[in-house]
Amino acid sequence: MIYEGTGSAELVAGLAAGGFLIDVDHMLDYVLFERQRDLRPTAFLRYYLGGRAERVVLMLHSYELLAVLAALAWFFPMDWLWGWVFGMMLHLPLDVIFNGKFASRGLVHFYSIVVRARAGFRAARFTDRPVRPVGEHEVWTAFFEGGRVAGEAPGSAPAGRPSVPVRG
């Protein structure tokens, strides 16, 4: 639809990068900072959806990177770069909403790399609601439904809060 409206394949590629491929930094964290070597998708998803990540560098998930990319796009207008900016502008707020159920104070501040760095990139500094572990045969269900707070039954929500899938 975007391509049909703009005729720009570069804009669409940038939207894909900023909106979806941004999540490649989870794999980088998994390998580089968590020192995990099991690269099977199910192992990776169980690790993250089960709340086992201890370090959250997430280099591509930051307001600071978004600001730099927006400035670059402003001064050096390129469709792919504007697409990346717009993709991030969609991705980051959705992450704040979808992942916020794991933090009673919310996660708006979490998406600043400066804030994460000051916290030593420790995941525990941002979340205070335990994540329900993901069983071996629950990986794909958890991927599509999202992680759950411990004690939350499948398909239910904690009191007073809607259940929202986790995307990262």
Tokens 């707070």 found at: 149
Q: Residue 166 above 50 pLDDT?
A: no
Per-residue confidence (pLDDT) for residue 6, from 0 to 100 = 81
What is the four-CA torsion angle of 35, 168, 155, 133, rounded to 10 degrees?
Answer: 10
Show Cβ contacts of residue 67 under 8 Å, excluding neighbours closer than 6 positions. Answer: none
Q: Distance between CA 14 and CA 83 in Å, rounded? A: 4
Per-residue confidence (pLDDT) for residue 164, from 0 to 100 = 45
pLDDT, tens digit (0-9, with 9 covering 90-100), for 7-42: 889 999 999 999 999 999 999 999 999 999 999 999
Contact 128, 149 (CB under 8 A): no
Q: What is the pTM of this model?
A: 0.81
Q: How large is the average pLDDT for residues 46-67?
A: 94
Per-residue confidence (pLDDT) for residue 89, from 0 to 100 = 97
Per-residue confidence (pLDDT) for residue 80, from 0 to 100 = 96
Q: pLDDT: is 116 or 105 the higher one? A: 116
Q: How large is the average pLDDT for residues 54-64?
A: 96
Transcribe 30-60 into DSSP letters: IIIIS------HHHHHHHHHTT---B---TT
pLDDT, tens digit (0-9, with 9 covering 90-100), for 108-157: 999 999 999 999 999 999 988 888 888 888 888 888 887 788 876 655 54
Per-residue confidence (pLDDT) for residue 104, from 0 to 100 = 84
Per-residue confidence (pLDDT) for residue 141, from 0 to 100 = 84
